[in-house]
Amino acid sequence: MNRLKVKWQGLSLILGLMFCLTLAVNGQAAKTSSSTTATNNIGFSVGAKIPKNQINAKNSFFDLKMKAGQQQTLKTVIYNVTNRDIKVKTAIHTAYTNSNGVIEYVTPTKTYDASLRYKMSDVTTLGKVKTVTVPANGSKTVTANVTMPTQTFNGVMLGGWYFKRVDQKATSTVKGSMNIQNQYSYVIGLKYTEGHVPSPKLALDKVTAGMNNYHRGIFPYLRNTTAVIVPNLNLKSTITSKNSGKVVKTAKKANVQLAPNSVYKYPILTGSTKLQAGKYHLHLVAKNSQHRWVFDKDFTITAAMASKYNKQSVDNSGISLIWFVVLGALGMLIVVLLILWLIFIIRKRRRKSTDD
């Protein structure tokens, strides 16, 4: 009986190791398969036809020197590398600073900073046909029309020319389930420079409690009020309680890129620490290799705000994703062991009945 027990324990250990190894191999295979599919199925590429007023010829995007009232037609070639016709949707987007502190060209925003005088989507327009058909193993040249404002403008306008393949369909449909459909897109940058480029000016608009991807936190609204890109910005913030004077939160954010005339809703997430109603003070230092700004601002978190965001936050669970994976693996292992145990019992009974 002791020998049988030792063998069973050894078998359990081996099965456990095999199960964990299977998870690791399958996970790596899934990553490799996903990467390969994305590379093979994208099916098209785009290339800008660089005009003579390009500032830097080495740039593959439109980096143009412009004048007030200037009109110009830009051209981009869409290349289809598949053996069938494809459809590509085009759009012009105005650049802004997203919640990750990165200049966003792909996903358009619904709100803009009050300092933005001219949107790229207004200055650069497409024709009535926004979706074009590109022939199999061929190419298609598309155009965009630029009309610069007649009023004098100093600085940079920034945006992107967006291309998205829209003729792909899900390979299968399962009733009652969510089907994953890959989407592939390109963006060619649009950067127009007119007059002289001003020195950047930043402003701290407001500080408020809020949510970012269902995580609670405190959000300073850092504004770039000038028509210039502010690159490689490092942020260091300290939040103190006005009542006790104690530091309740410190945070750092490196390599922030601010789009011209945009606002950065800077997320200072509190994690497992719940928001507390009260009066607070924010000390924020923003700097890069050329400039440095220091901001101080008082703000208040109301009881209603703290209660609302604390209830909505996923930080309340206290269980990270890795623990869900570990618990799931343990659950699967227990199921396998139970099945093997049942098989062992059945075989034991069969042997006993045979011996009898």
Sequence spans of domains, the chain? 43-168+184-194, 202-317
- Rounded CA-CA distance 273/271 in Å is 5
- Rounded CA-CA distance 42/73 in Å is 27
| CATH fold for domain 202-317 | Immunoglobulin-like (2.60.40)
pLDDT of 3: 42
Closest to 263 in 3D by CA, of 224, 218, 219, 208: 224
pLDDT of 128: 86
> Could you count the other beta carbons within 10 Å of the beta carbon of residue 101?
19
pLDDT of 170: 42
Do the domains 202-317 and 43-168+184-194 match in fold? yes
pLDDT of 345: 81
pLDDT of 351: 73
pLDDT of 33: 30
* pLDDT one-digit tens code per residue, 122-164: 999 998 889 999 999 999 999 999 999 999 999 999 999 999 9
Specify the pairing of strand 185-194 against strand 62-66: parallel
pLDDT of 303: 97
Residues of the chain where predicted confidence (pLDDT) is lower than 70: 1-41, 168-183, 317-327, 352, 354-356
> Could you count the other beta carbons within 10 Å of the beta carbon of residue 102?
14
| CATH fold for domain 43-168+184-194 | Immunoglobulin-like (2.60.40)
Closest to 227 in 3D by CA, of 276, 165, 158: 158
